[in-house]
Structure 1
């Protein structure tokens, strides 16, 4: 039988409910579940764990392909907040950081807790026009967690270039369904347990070829050029690549992530995007027939409906998983969802 998008997806996913909450966390494909079981068995049986370390590098390389950059520019860490902390630590005292109002906390808080930076927040739609002489860094999510709005990244790049500012873009709510060209920005980050379908515990940071002035402030033995020769005493030679910014990896996580990224590559981001946006548009059209208007987020796989967040517990009880975000009902559509899932959500909302 010919392998199609649908047959490949159906072979990997069999949710027991109507899961429309990828913006919180994605479902694990069957191949990732198998890989996790195999990784746990290695530990349980006392066998060598070398294969799990290889999974880290396989996953790093797969992410680099998605990001469109050489693998030497990709660092592996535990979370977006930890990676943002590296960026924040590299800024001089008094530097201005421009952010979007109500962006996700992991993109913002490391700059605020420094205490000696000038952090300025503006509405997302005014971000590019608000870059000014003296702005050191612009930090923003490519797609907003709360409502799915997509930042005008081309305008932001141009404004940053004009004023000599650097850019830091969080693709956590975008990579896997939205085209991702990390080379267009100074720094990018993404966690991997949402649209990339991996387990929790991994985030990739993409840095410039010259590392962009970052210091490896979290460096342990894995940040060495020769990790196994650097287990004791100070590291004498840091990795020549972005691996110098690595934090000791959660090996089980990368075992599953390797398999998840393989699936994303097999399906293709463009095909996933077309699938997701068709479902999001179906939901928007259905909402209009019910008299509801979602927050504007054209071209996004995330749809948020004002005033309906209170219905999340009712929907969950009916086997439909969505989120309540700031009073908004947030539904997010990914490769394992179908038109029937959308229609079921609309049916329950419509009573």
Structure 2
């Protein structure tokens, strides 16, 4: 019987101490193989139908991870594009509540509208800041800069109390933090971080009634019968969330199919336990060195104020982390080990 450790060891062969999943996840071996096969299929002039099948298989896998029916899941290429569709649906003057310094893809499409009231508050106050007249709350489940996790149940309850819709970006959480997309109006996630996929794939979860969204970016793939929708206006939009699909980056989905397969085999709960044990080991080691990370309990992302300038030094030592606003950000995932944590602490102690 394969164990968590044996599955991981069979898939990953990092050549350094890689602690930067919050920027890019490593590709599993099975994903690399699938990418090569997809490229070869096109290079040899064979039918691309298997790659379109990969999109649907991947959509179904994400739906299982998100805990929603597959008919609620749209496939796209980026969080910013999904945010743009939601921003386009709001009436002029609508209030959008956001968290200060959240990731740009969650925020900017609301700002560039120019006729929305976008209000930003500290993350820890976002639930209490929902008020009558708030149309939408848009926030990342886990903050990219420092890993802080929003109090999602409190936010959901506050939004319901005031009749506001919710838009949650799980890009820094999906894969290690359990998702329940059914609890929110809209959710999204890009898949090249904790879900271990190639760049160019992202998902949007919408309500069964589509939540008032218009498929303003929809092309031929948004049709109920895409191959009959290649010319002229789409006469019949897909009856499911597929009406919000963007033309898929087929190679990306061919690889992502295998990445999500691995996540399901391992189980999100097991991945979470593994990741958080490493993050907590790093926090404990930092305390012994006299450093205090940004408080982010229960997060796989650890951000340390004042140490961001050491990222180039760490890179020279073959340790990959990030410098975010002067903070050193380390992010731990299933291919990391206690040895990786200890090596990072050893270099920081010098």
Q: TM-score, normalised by structure 2?
A: 1.00
Q: CA deviation at 1:342?
A: 0.2
Q: Which residue matches 1:222?
A: 221
The whole-number CA distance in structure 1 between the counterparts of 2:184 and 2:325 is: 30
The whole-number CA distance in structure 2 between the counterparts of 1:47 and 1:55 is: 15
Q: Which residue matches 1:338?
A: 337
Q: Which residue matches 2:209?
A: 210
Q: Which residue matches 1:190?
A: 189
Q: Which residue matches 1:67?
A: 66
Is 1:258–2:257 an aligned residue pair?
yes
The whole-number CA distance in structure 1 between the counterparts of 2:228 and 2:157 is: 44
Q: Which residue matches 1:269?
A: 268
The whole-number CA distance in structure 1 between the counterparts of 2:246 and 2:294 is: 38
The whole-number CA distance in structure 2 between the counterparts of 1:78 and 1:176 is: 18
Q: Which residue matches 2:45?
A: 46
Q: 3-state DSSP class of the match of 2:127?
A: helix
The whole-number CA distance in structure 1 between the counterparts of 2:169 and 2:151 is: 13
Which deviations, in whole Å up to 9, do the C-alpha atoms of 1:60-110 show, x marking residues without a partner?
A: 000000000000000011100000000000000000000000000000000
**Aligned-pair RMSD on alpha carbons?**
0.4
Q: CA deviation at 1:228?
A: 0.6
Q: Which residue matches 2:316?
A: 317
Which deviations, in whole Å up to 9, do the C-alpha atoms of 1:98-131 show, x marking residues without a partner?
A: 0000000000000000000000000000000000
The whole-number CA distance in structure 2 between the counterparts of 1:79 and 1:228 is: 24
In the alignment, structure 1 segments of 5+ residues that lack a partner are: none
Q: Which residue matches 2:171?
A: 172
Which deviations, in whole Å up to 9, do the C-alpha atoms of 1:179-204 show, x marking residues without a partner?
A: 10000000000000000000000110
Q: 3-state DSSP class of the match of 2:30?
A: helix
Q: Which residue matches 2:33?
A: 34
The whole-number CA distance in structure 2 between the counterparts of 1:285 and 1:267 is: 26
Q: 3-state DSSP class of the match of 1:167?
A: strand
Q: Which residue matches 1:8?
A: 7
Is 1:116–2:115 an aligned residue pair?
yes
The whole-number CA distance in structure 2 between the counterparts of 1:11 and 1:105 is: 36
Q: 3-state DSSP class of the match of 1:129?
A: coil
Q: 3-state DSSP class of the match of 1:98?
A: strand
The total of aligned residue pairs comes to 350
Is 1:200–2:199 an aligned residue pair?
yes
In the alignment, structure 2 segments of 5+ residues that lack a partner are: none
Q: 3-state DSSP class of the match of 2:126?
A: helix
Q: Which residue matches 1:349?
A: 348
The whole-number CA distance in structure 2 between the counterparts of 1:284 and 1:200 is: 30
Is 1:130–2:140 an aligned residue pair?
no
Q: CA deviation at 1:260?
A: 0.2
Q: 3-state DSSP class of the match of 2:128?
A: helix
Q: 3-state DSSP class of the match of 1:112?
A: helix
The whole-number CA distance in structure 2 between the counterparts of 1:167 and 1:235 is: 29
The whole-number CA distance in structure 2 between the counterparts of 1:120 and 1:82 is: 21
The whole-number CA distance in structure 2 between the counterparts of 1:234 and 1:91 is: 24
**Which aligned runs of 4 or more in structure 1 are off by greater than 3 angstroms?**
none
Which deviations, in whole Å up to 9, do the C-alpha atoms of 1:15-71 show, x marking residues without a partner?
A: 000000000010000000000000000011111110000000000000000000000
Q: 3-state DSSP class of the match of 1:304?
A: strand
The whole-number CA distance in structure 1 between the counterparts of 2:261 and 2:339 is: 27
The whole-number CA distance in structure 2 between the counterparts of 1:244 and 1:166 is: 20
Q: CA deviation at 1:230?
A: 1.0
Q: Which residue matches 1:237?
A: 236
Q: Which residue matches 1:146?
A: 145
Q: Which residue matches 1:308?
A: 307
Q: Which residue matches 2:283?
A: 284
Q: TM-score, normalised by structure 1?
A: 0.99
